[in-house]
Each structure stands twice: as structure tokens, then as C-alpha cells.
Amino acid sequence: MVVGELLARAQARLRAAGIDEARREAEILLAACLGWERARLTAYPEHALTERQQRRFECWVRRRAQREPIPYITRRAWFYGLELVVGRGVLVPRPETELLVELFLEWAATQKFDSPILIDAGVGSGAIAIACLKHASLWGGVGIDRSGRALRIARINRRRAGLESRLLLIQGEWLSALCSRVAHAVLSNPPYVLPDEWDALPPEVARYEPRLALLVPSEDPLRPYRHLALDARRVLVPSGLLAFETSPRLAPLLAEQLPRWGFKNPQIRRDYSNRERVVYAYLE
């Protein structure tokens, strides 16, 4: 079967599954299956796939029709100009999280620390730490995650980025394993979906992404932030940076609480949709 015919069939199946951009997603899947750029599909609609390629593509379309995220199917995602390996057990990197990287890089460019260290608490695929270290060549980093599966994926991405000597990956609960005054910046993308928001999430998120990395406790939504902030107060050097990605509903509450947890001058940065997304402050 040839490219044009397979795309038409995949587009129809994805559209029937309720996927709005069915043609674009069919092209993404087929291009990834063949190892091509998407533009090449248009240039070679009569290219015939091998039986193995066809079976693989049909399997991928079936998975996407069940609303599995494309990055989990292709095992690839782009973040801050980097191609990362992803898979079940880690969050799919999102454009909003790039704001956390931008904030760190802006701040790091103004600092004069000796041998500075950043901590990525809840490192997942390694997206935040790797993007920061690739653009801040004088910094080292530590990525922490309680999930062994996430750390295996982060190790692959660390190796692909050439950061094995600059990024230490350890298994642990937030910052509890770290010594005092060892870090100059702590970055984190903790859970921030409130329970009353769960049913409104797209099936790609609710069915497939790790629930523990998404959902905050209903009785105490700021619990992970408080835990991190109190540990960061011990781990950071004076004037060190603490920055969180969060939700527009939690951002003002978090900014209000940070001074009570020992951090001065909390500020909120809006994302590309003008929603309050990143909250940051400095150790007193």
C-alpha cells in the first residue's frame, strides 16, 4: 500500500475517533514511522511501504484512535528545541513548561555563583534540567524523581544530550535526600490539576499520563508546593531561586504563601495564553 492511500485511510479513522486535526496527525505518525520529514509525504504519495512498515503504521493509528498521545506512540517529543525520548510513566513535555526554562536562563545570566547547581525536583523525562543545562554551560544539575521508570527515560535523554558529566540523576522523594546549602536554584513542575478539573481533561491526559504527576490532593492542594518550599529553604544558598510551574487557579495562592515559607518577593509570570503559570521567589 502507498503513502497517499494509507494517509487517507488513517485520516478517516482518526476523524471518526473525534480527533480534530486528523490529517496532520496521520502525517506525523506516518512520517515518524518512515523516518521522514512530513513534507516528503507530499512529494512521494506513490511510495510503497513494506509490510512491516504498514503493520507498524496501522498499529500506531489504532493506538492514536484510542486517544493515546502521539509522543507515547512515537516515543519522541520536542521541548525547547530538543528532541526527547518519552514514554508511559512521564509527562509529555508541554510548551507552557518552557516558560520555566526561560525564567531560569534569564536569572542565571545575571548571577556570579562559583560552580552553580540547579535541582529539577520531579525530573520526569529530564526535559527541564536538560534544556536548562544545554543553555547554561557553567551550571551543573541534579534531577530527582521517585519513579524508576522516569529515571530510566531521563538517563536516555541525558546521554543523548551529552550531559552525563553535568547532570546527576537520583531516586528520591522531592528534595529530602539532599544536603543543606548545596543548590543555587530549585525548579519544579509539581502536580497542579485539582480534582474538580479531572473530568474535563482530554482523554490523552486523563487516560494515559501518570495520575500522581498531575493531581493535587483535594483537601490540601498546596501540599506538594509546601513540602518542596520547606525543603528548598534548607537546600538553597541565600538568595537562591525557587520556581514552580502551576495552574492559574493555584498561582495566586502559592504566591501568597511563599513568604510564610521563607521566600521573598514572590512573582507570577504568565504563559503564552496570558494565564498565570510560573510562580517564583528567592530565599531570604
**Digit-coded pLDDT (tens) for 203-257:** 999 999 999 899 998 889 999 999 999 999 999 999 999 999 999 999 999 999 9
**DSSP 3-state assignment of 282?**
strand
**One-letter amino acid for residue 237 of the chain:** V
How much is the mean pLDDT over the chain?
95
| Predicted pLDDT of residue 284 | 82
Query: What single DSSP character describes residue 178?
Result: S
Which residues are within 8 A (CB) of 33 and not within 5 positions of it... i.e. 6 or more apart? Answer: 53, 56, 57, 60
| pLDDT bracket for residue 174 (50, 70, 90) | confident
CB 144 within 8 A of CB 167: no
Task: Provide φ and ψ at 228, rounded to 5°.
Answer: -65, -45
| pLDDT bracket for residue 176 (50, 70, 90) | confident
Q: Where are the alpha helices (DSSP H) in 48-117?
A: 51-65, 70-74, 98-108
C-alpha to C-alpha distance for 58 and 54, rounded to whole angstroms: 6
| pLDDT bracket for residue 107 (50, 70, 90) | very high
Among residues 277, 280, 188, the alpha carbon closest in space to that of 239 is found at 280
C-alpha to C-alpha distance for 118 and 282, rounded to whole angstroms: 14
Return the bridge partners of 145, or none: 171
Handedness of CA 189, 79, 129, 237 (dihedral sign): negative
3-state helix, strand, coil in the chain (%, to 5): 45, 20, 35
